[in-house]
Amino acid sequence: MLRETYTKELRHLQDEILRMGSEVEENLLKAVEALIKRDLTLSEKLVQADKWFNQRRIDIGSDAFGIIATQQPIASDLRLIAASLEIAGELERIHDYVKGIGNISLMISEAEVPAELTVHMPQMAEKARYMLHRSLDAFTERNSQLAYETIKSDDEVDKLYNKTYRAVMTYMAANPESFELAQRLEWAAHNLERAADRVTNMCEWVFYLATGQYHQGKELLKTYQNQNK
């Protein structure tokens, strides 16, 4: 009975990570949709929803430490618990960026938004969402190769952000009276770029879960490449 309870608690912990991640995926896309379509009701909902994600992180932490305190988990299960704690934190931070985009939408609600400053944002959001989805798959499967491949995708989001940044700088130079609007749109794009960076952090913990080795970003890429020559 004790072993069965232990297994259920570990499965519940993993399921809660996946549930939280699925909600973050959905809201990443909604944030950009609300910004571009000027959907203030949706923007407000996303801002208010952030409280739920903050609480989920706390609840997952409580569950994780409860397992440690009562079940004396073995090494591989401890890695799952540690990775779950870190991934929950990253998911909560990603939703902070969603909330940030929602707030930006509300701040510029009466402004006319130049299309050239938001043209890359839907693609950025979709790529970040896809990275997040793959990282959660890698977490479920303990798949270090998928974690590695997902990290490599971060460069694609960076390139789109750089295009947006250049467009913002060009627009600011030509329209100094709209500096504040352009700056806020750059913040929105930067939030999407940072969301993808947080997914990279998640993949580092998936790699640790799968292999017992923790490496950061570029170091992880080099390590994986060396191991698979």
The per-residue pLDDT for 226 is 63
The per-residue pLDDT for 99 is 99
User: Which CATH architecture is the domain 2-227 placed in?
Assistant: Up-down Bundle (1.20)
Count other Cβ atoms within 10 Å, centred on residue 82.
Answer: 16
Q: Give me the torsion for CA of 170, 172, 178, 179, rounded to 10°.
A: 140
pTM above 0.85, yes or no: yes
The per-residue pLDDT for 218 is 64
Among 167, 183, 158, 164, residue whose Cα is nearest residue 120: 164
Count other Cβ atoms within 10 Å, centred on residue 183.
Answer: 12
Count other Cβ atoms within 10 Å, centred on residue 50.
Answer: 18
The per-residue pLDDT for 73 is 87
Residue type, 7: T
The per-residue pLDDT for 220 is 66
Give me the tens of pLDDT residue by residue for the chain, a chain 229 residues long.
567 888 899 999 999 999 999 999 999 999 999 999 999 999 999 999 999 999 999 999 999 999 999 888 888 899 999 999 999 999 999 999 999 999 999 999 999 999 999 999 999 999 999 999 999 999 999 999 999 999 999 999 999 999 999 999 999 999 999 999 999 999 999 999 999 999 999 999 999 999 998 877 666 666 656 666 5
The per-residue pLDDT for 103 is 98
Task: Please report, for the chain, the start and end positions of each structural domain, with discontinuous segments joined by +.
Answer: 2-227
Among 109, 110, 94, 85, residue whose Cα is nearest residue 191: 94
The per-residue pLDDT for 177 is 95
